Every structure is written in structure tokens, then in C-alpha cells.
Amino acid sequence: MSLFGTDGIRAPFGEPPLDRRTVTALGAHLGRRLSARERTPRVMLGGDTRDSTPELWRWLEAGLRLGGAEPLLAGVVPTPAVAWLTRELGAACGIAVSASHNLHPDNGIKLLDRDGGKWTTAAESELENALAAEPDFGAGEEGAPAAIDPALGARYVGALAAEIPADALRGLRLVIDAANGAAAPWAAELFAGLGAELTLLGAEPDGRNINRDRGSTHPAAMARAVVEHGADLGLAFDGDADRVILADERGAVRDGDAILYLWAGDLRRRGELEPARIVATTMSNLGLERALAADGIGVERCEVGDRAVVETLRRSGLRLGGEQSGHIVDLRRSATGDGMRTGLEMTRLLAGSGRPFSALLRDLRRYPQLLRNVRVTRKDELSRLPHVAAAQREVLERLGADGRLVLRYSGTEPLLRIMLEGPEQAAIDAMADQLEQAIRRDLPAEAPAPS
């Protein structure tokens, strides 16, 4: 059984691999692995508001104890809080129980190393192999849940608040959508504690409504509320609050590209972006690259995924990177995306500017962008597909320096994804049609009937 995907384990609760047998055995193997390196290692546990989260904690705790580890339970906290607490308290590992932006009944398990970063794929594979070799280790264990220590979450929020002056947000009017998720118990404490006036949405979790018509994947309600309440800015977190999407005072939704533009520029002006480059994924808009270049800031591209962002930051010795989805990493302060920290940076910047948020983004011109998925029956190397390769060359020649093309297979679905950017929407629509026709010639959607 393959356990780990691009962002940990994720599945409907109660079904493999999120059944009791597998999760308890996972905890036991993890505890054994950590205990081989230190005596009674501590493991930080937290998670989001799904009704299945406490049960998953209980299974993990039983397995961890059997494997020789000591669980510490922070309760409902954002995934970045688990990461911060793991590093702050010197725990050997952190576990966030969350399915991020997925809806109920899905849940998930994310493993974090002692520095608060996500486990490497190699480390995940080793644990997966151990579980495959001994799948019933700890499977019969029962255990009472550890007592939740609410001071742990408060400690994280206090550390965030201490990063900017007290009352720095006084007079700022914010709409905050907590997605009925992990930010719900903490967002008001953080932002109102610094002086902001709040309108809260998605702050009444019932165990099943996480991300439902709320949060960063559904920001429309937050954007409308900004206009209705005359707010200065809106923030929409996802279920585990490791990402955030914004809306300006006019209700225009602003994604991670806008956040990277503002944050990078602010760091540059303060002399804190050396070298003057950031990391963005292949999906970030060309307009971001052009706007930052005008400020003397370069962009290094990487594959999609916050793990790839962090790896590129470390390899290139850079500080700031992120994704359009609102996963933003300031590597000097965190090894993972942190939606509440990102929101705090944006509100601090806005409060100190004396200008509307839309005015701060005046020089960020987004190029028209097209995303199209083409269903395929196999995933051959693109360079070996004659019609696709020819169409790709022609499109790249037509775009020149005024656009971008990304062709990539989905990692989880039978899809070939087309991403095009250019100065004119009609032109990139026509190019996408050309590419799709070539894909369908080389990789027909239906396999040919046997002769």
C-alpha cells in the first residue's frame, strides 16, 4: 500500500490507510524509529477541527507509546503551529492530523521533522517499508487520549504576535475567514489582540463543515464581506491554516503571487533580501516575474508543491518563496508555509503604508493565464510525442519572451496539464487548442480497440 502522497497521507477517515490498524502501526513504527536515536523521544501532535481528528490522535498516541515515544498534544492548532512547537520544544518529530483544504470526511497525517519541515520523501519511504514488513505492529493497542495542553497553541500565537509591535494593527478593519478549521480558535486572538477590528467568517466548526463554502479555496464570501463591511483587507485560510488568500478593499481576490510581490519588495527595501531573489513555482504568473524584475528582484522557478519550494530555497540559499495557492515560506522564520504569519505580514505592511491594499499592487500586472486539463490513457515522455513536441516548439516560438508554456502530467490523475500565459487571452486560447489537438493525436483519450 502506498501511504504518502505529495502532502502526507490523505484519505477518507476509517478507510485504509486511515483505519485504526494502519494508523496505530504507523505510530508504533515511528516511535520505534525515533527511539533508536534518542531515549523517550517526544512527538508533538496537533490537528484541525474534523470530527475524526481526536480518534486519529488516540490511535497515533497508542502506537507512539508502544514504540517508545512520548506524545505531546496541542489540540486544535494550525499545521504551522505543530511545526513551530516541534522546533521550539526540541521534539523529535511533529504530526499534524489534517486533510488541509479537503472536505469532510477526508482526513490526513503530515509528518514534520525536528526543524519543523516536512519529512523527506526518502524518510517517508523508509517508514512505509517498515510498515509493509510488519503491518500489525501495535495494531491491537488501545489507549486513552493524552490531555490537551491549551498553553501550547497560545504559545505559538504569542510568538507570532511578538513579531510586530503591539497595537500595530489598530484601526485596521479585517474580514477573516477561518474555514471552520484550525485557525478558528486562534485568528481572533492574534489579529484582534494587535488592535484590528474583525468580522469573522467560518469560525464555528462543527466537525463536518471544514472548508465547506469557506476558506482559501472558496474566497468569494470573504471578498463580498470585505465590501459589505467596508473592510481594508480580507484573509481566507484553509483548513489547517498553512495558506492564506486575500481580498483587497474593493473585493478583488489576491493570491500568493500578490503576497510574494509585496513581501519581497518590503524585504528588499529593508535590506533583508540578500541575495535579491525569491522562489516561485512554474504556475506563478509571468506578471510577478516582470514586476519583481522592475524592483531588481529575480525569480527562481521550481516544481509545484511547498516541499519543492523549501528544497529550492535551501539549495539556492534564498529566504522567501511560495505558491499561488497562498503557501508562503519565509525560511528564516519557518520551514513550512504559515497562513497566519503570512496574513500578519500583509496586515502589518498595509497598516504601515497609509494606502489602500489595491494601490500597493498597482504595478503588479497579471498576464492572461490559461489552465487546461487533457485526459490521457498513458503518460509517455513528452519529447517522444511527435505532434506534441512540434506544437510545443511552435507555441514557444510564438510566445517568445512575452509568455510561458508549462506542460506537465498530473501526479495523481490521468491528465496532461496545459498552462499558458501571454499578453492576449485570445492568442493563448488558440495556442491551447493547438496543443490539445496535438495531445489527442499522440495520446488519444480512449485506448484503441483490440484488433
Q: What pLDDT was estimated at residue 74?
A: 98
Lowest mean pLDDT among 268-272, 403-407, 443-447: 443-447
Identify the burial level of 124 via C-beta atoms within 10 angstroms of its C-beta, where 0-12 means exposed, 13-18 middle and 19 or more buried.
middle
Q: What is the mean pLDDT of residues 294-299?
A: 97
pLDDT digits (tens, 9 = 90+) for 8-24: 999 999 999 999 999 99
Q: Sketch out the chain's domains with CATH numbers.
A: 9-153 (3.40.120.10), 158-253 (3.40.120.10), 255-339+348-360 (3.40.120.10), 369-442 (3.30.310.50)
pLDDT digits (tens, 9 = 90+) for 21-76: 999 999 999 999 999 999 999 999 999 999 999 999 999 999 999 999 999 999 99
pLDDT digits (tens, 9 = 90+) for 297-309: 999 999 988 899 9
Identify the burial level of 384 via C-beta atoms within 10 angstroms of its C-beta, where 0-12 means exposed, 13-18 middle and 19 or more buried.
exposed
Taking CA atoms, 52 is separated from 27, 79, 80, in Å, by: 17, 16, 20
Neighbours of 311 (CB within 10 A): 18
Q: What pLDDT was estimated at residue 451?
A: 38
pLDDT at residue 1 greater than cutoff 70: no
pLDDT at residue 79 greater than cutoff 90: yes
CA dist 394 and 367 (Å) reads 20
* Nearest Cα residue to 309 out of 280, 285, 332, 289: 280
Q: What is the mean pLDDT of residues 316-328?
A: 97
* Nearest Cα residue to 341 out of 186, 226, 197: 186
Q: Is residue 306 a contact partner of residue 337, using CB atoms and an 8 Å limit?
A: yes
Positions marked catalytic: 100
The band of 449, judged by pLDDT with boundaries at 50, 70 and 90, is very low
Residue in this structure with the C-alpha cell 500565459, named with its chain if needed: 421
pLDDT at residue 321 greater than cutoff 60: yes
- The DSSP element (H or E) to which 393 belongs, if any, is helix 386-399
Q: Which residues contact 159 (CB under 8 A, 6 or more apart)?
A: 84, 88
- What predicted TM-score, i.e. pTM, was given to this entire model? 0.91
Identify the burial level of 118 via C-beta atoms within 10 angstroms of its C-beta, where 0-12 means exposed, 13-18 middle and 19 or more buried.
buried
pLDDT at residue 284 greater than cutoff 60: yes
Q: What is the mean pLDDT of residues 78-85?
A: 98
Q: What pLDDT was estimated at residue 6?
A: 80
Give per-residue burial for 10-40: e unless 16+ CB within 10 Å, then b.
bbebeeebbebebbbbbbbbbbbbbbeeeee
Rounded to the nearest integer, the mean pLDDT of the chain is 94
Q: What is the mean pLDDT of residues 250-270?
A: 98
Bridge-partner residues for 374, per DSSP? 416
pLDDT at residue 450 greater than cutoff 60: no
Q: What is the mean pLDDT of residues 313-335?
A: 96
Q: Is residue 112 a contact partner of residue 94, using CB atoms and an 8 Å limit?
A: yes
pLDDT at residue 141 greater than cutoff 80: no
3-state SS, 211-271, equals CCCCCCCCCHHHHHHHHHCCCCEEEEECCCCCCEEEECCCCCEECHHHHHHHHHHHHHHCC
Evaluate the omega torsion of the peptide bond into residue 16 and state whether it is cis, within 30 degrees of 0. no
The band of 410, judged by pLDDT with boundaries at 50, 70 and 90, is confident
